[in-house]
Amino acid sequence: MRFLLFTFALLTFASPLIAQNLVDQIADVLEPKVIEWRRDFHEHPELSNREFRTAGIVADHLRNLGIDVTTEVAHTGVIGILKGGHPGPTVALRADMDALPVKERVDLPFKSVATSLYRDEEVPVMHACGHDTHVAMLMGVAEALAGMQADLRGTVKFIFQPAEEGPPPGEEGGAELMVKEGVMEGVDVIFGLHIAAGTYVGQLEYRPKGMMAAVDDFRIVLKGKQAHGSAPWLGIDPIVTAAQIVNNLQTIVSRSLQLTKAAAVVTVGSIHGGVRSNIIPEELEMLGTIRTFDPEMRDKLHSRFRTIVSNTAASNGATAEIQLPYSAHYPVTFNDPDLTSSMLETLERTAGKDNVIMIDAITGAEDFSFFANEVPGLFLFVGGKPLNIPKEVSVSHHTPDFYVDESGMKLGVRTLMNLTLDYMEKATRQ
């Protein structure tokens, strides 16, 4: 393996066609390992800021490749530094490691049956967003690039990041904390990708400028007055109040924001209150998320949100405590337009021009945005949908039925390798 990689390195900058063929060969050789790693991580998922086992496997792998390793970055993060034999830029590659509190329904030989504590509650845990594939792909890329270290024109920083899904309440974490701890110091550019269950295997999706939304989550605590369910006039009902708030919040986007300018979303995802059918509770908790693309619209939405929640509660005789943001507040995931344009040829060479698709902005969010706020960044989607599944049939991320075709990971490995090598070549030519 080492000899194959070394031969590739010598030819990388001499012939793009030969280099591409060798990248493909290396990805073929690495694919069984990448699949094996992915299945292990999938069977043993870990929640945000608790990725101890995952981080240990990653750190050991990087050390065995001769890469300089730093652990416990932003709690459980792992950083690997691979210094090439020639001067050049520092290229960062990022993968996120955390799973979600979701119970898996897909019948796989490596199906997760893991449980863990989430907000003091025992919950099932599943890689329901594909971060297991991201870790496995970047481990494969690290092995490939380590084999050509002497001929690399620059330095590669491998970022294995915890808590992309947001740290537990009361904790810091994720890309934001990594940036605070100096992970992006000395980095010239960063690349990242995300497996996409709704995108066919073999395809890459991208968008210059704003690709994914900014996100702010929220927590509302409604306080009323407890009473017997048979006599609601003796109490103040936070459940009825919550129902009114859910409906009223939907008027912000439909009636207060200029939707021809940019999209926005307000979603209430959790309502917890009460213990019995015949007791009106004293208190209720609501959790949800806000997605925006425009800073002015974000500010207006937040203002209207606070007004509606407070006034709706007051009209029912209740009070509302609002935390906005609560634990997550990611900026827009922004692809540097010059970098995107410069690397488009690389993407088309890697996947084929017809398989590189520019998409509309989506209201999902990514804390890769914190990294891309520090240096030029490019974030992509790599297809994980089986080719035999009809276009109109799609399984959503963050659900018990989430599934990706592992054959899509090879394109991810090839893409990150080619982006790294091509960027180094372009930078050292200037």
Q: Can you tell me whether residue 123 is helix, strand or coil?
A: strand
Q: In this structure, are residues 165 and 78 in contact, taking their beta carbons and an 8 Å threshold?
A: no
Q: Which two tokens stand for residue 418?
A: 């080619």
Q: Which residue out of 330, 348, 392, 423 is catalytically annotated?
A: 330
Q: Can you tell me whether residue 145 is helix, strand or coil?
A: helix
- Tell me if residue 406 is catalytic: yes
Q: In this structure, are residues 102 and 167 in contact, taking their beta carbons and an 8 Å threshold?
A: no
Q: By C-alpha distance, which of 185, 79, 147 is closest to 417? A: 147
- Tell me if residue 165 is catalytic: no
Q: By C-alpha distance, which of 362, 379, 361 is closest to 370? A: 379
| Separation between Cα atoms, residue 175 and residue 335, nearest integer Å | 16
DSSP 42-98: HHS---TT--HHHHHHHHHHHHHTT-EEEEEETTTEEEEEEE-SEEEEEEEEEEE--
Q: Can you tell me whether residue 101 is helix, strand or coil?
A: coil
User: Which residues of 145-258 form beta strands (DSSP E)?
Assistant: 153-161, 189-200, 204-206, 209-212, 214-223, 227-228
**Pairing of β 68-73 and β 204-206:** unpaired
| Separation between Cα atoms, residue 170 and residue 167, nearest integer Å | 8
Q: In this structure, are residues 162 and 98 in contact, taking their beta carbons and an 8 Å threshold?
A: yes
Q: Which residue out of 172, 282, 406, 425 is catalytically annotated?
A: 406
Residue type, 115: T
Burial 345-361 (b: 16+ CB within 10 A, else e): ebbebbbeeebbbeeeb
User: Which residues of 336-407 form beta strands (DSSP E)?
Assistant: 356-358, 377-385
Q: In this structure, are residues 158 and 80 in contact, taking their beta carbons and an 8 Å threshold?
A: yes
| Separation between Cα atoms, residue 192 and residue 96, nearest integer Å | 9
- Please report where in the chains the tokens 């810091």 appear, as a residue: 172
Q: Can you tell me whether residue 315 is helix, strand or coil?
A: helix
- Please report where in the chains the tokens 């991580």 appear, as a residue: 41
Q: Can you tell me whether residue 401 is helix, strand or coil?
A: coil
Catalytic machinery residues: 330, 406
